[in-house]
Structure 1
Amino acid sequence: MGLLGNVVWFVFGGLLSGLSWCLAGCLWCISIVGIPIGVQCFKFAGLSFFPFGKEVHYGGGAGSFLLNIIWLVISGLPMALEFAVLGLLFCVTIVGIPFGMQQFKLAKLALMPFGAEVY
């Protein structure tokens, strides 16, 4: 069932969400200082393309907190807003609720990507 959900997700919303993470990763990798942040974006692009059957666990320390603050100011708020709006649009219909919940999971991840691990 997860495979079917991931295929349908990729067609109806995952491609756009994953490309958002890839674009953010490319923009961050322009500078040498931003490369670790860009690499993290590329990791979450894979989750965004195929999110069903995966969970995100949050943790981290002071370093993750500082990176999350920098991320939030520069890239996090626009991406979180994008995912939240898409989640609301998906939740309009009963069939779209699972896809909306995945968008909300990505919105939370867009607010705090550092210190998060995907299982």
Structure 2
Amino acid sequence: MRTLLNLIWLVLSGFWLFLGYVAAGVVLCILIITIPWGIASFRIGVYALWPFGRTVVDKPSSGAFSFLGNVIWVILAGWWLALAHIISGIALCITIIGIPLGIADFKMVPISLAPLGKEIVPTGGGEFDQARARRA
């Protein structure tokens, strides 16, 4: 089911959101001092390309610098990307089939506003979790 949702997502909005994150990442990497934000943009762009089966969690090692970095991120690129998620989420919710995708799009707004101090990990129920359970 995740693969089907990811394929539908990719066609309807994922590719375009990915391009937005890549454009923001390229601009931020050109400005040399903002390379860490550019790398974060690329990381979230890959997540926006194929989101189902993964989730965002807080990094336990993040601190005050992540907060300050997120403030700079919102000013440089975050609010544009959050606006793109909101617009595409509303467009997806117009059809019944698109409602779950629109909800997923709305769930990406917080990470588009504050990506530093976050980590993208696989969700439960897959082969990854079964292998981890065997090792424990």
- TM-score norm. by structure 1 comes to 0.94
Matches within 5 A, 1:82-101: 82-101=84-103
**What amino acid is the match of 2:34?**
G
Q: What do you get for the CA RMSD once the two structures are aligned? A: 1.1
Matches within 5 A, 1:1-119: 1-59=1-59, 60-119=62-121
**What amino acid is the match of 1:24?**
A
Shift of 1:105: 2.1
Distance 2:32 2:80 in 1: 23
Distance 1:4 1:91 in 2: 18
Please state whether the residue corresponding to 1:55 is helix, strand or coil: strand
Distance 2:31 2:54 in 1: 31
Distance 1:80 1:27 in 2: 17
Return 5+ residue gaps in structure 2 as ranges. 122-136
**Alpha-carbon deviations, 1:86-106, whole Å to 9, x = none?**
111211222111110221122
**What amino acid is the match of 1:53?**
G
Distance 2:58 2:86 in 1: 19
**What amino acid is the match of 2:45?**
A
Q: Count how many residue pairs are aligned between Structure 1 and Structure 2.
A: 119
Distance 2:94 2:32 in 1: 42
Return 5+ residue gaps in structure 1 as ranges. none
Please state whether the residue corresponding to 2:39 is helix, strand or coil: helix
Shift of 1:15: 0.4
**What amino acid is the match of 2:37?**
I
Identity %, equivalent residues: 38
- Structure 1 runs (4+) deviating above 4 angstroms are none
Please state whether the residue corresponding to 1:108 is helix, strand or coil: helix
Please state whether the residue corresponding to 2:30 is helix, strand or coil: coil
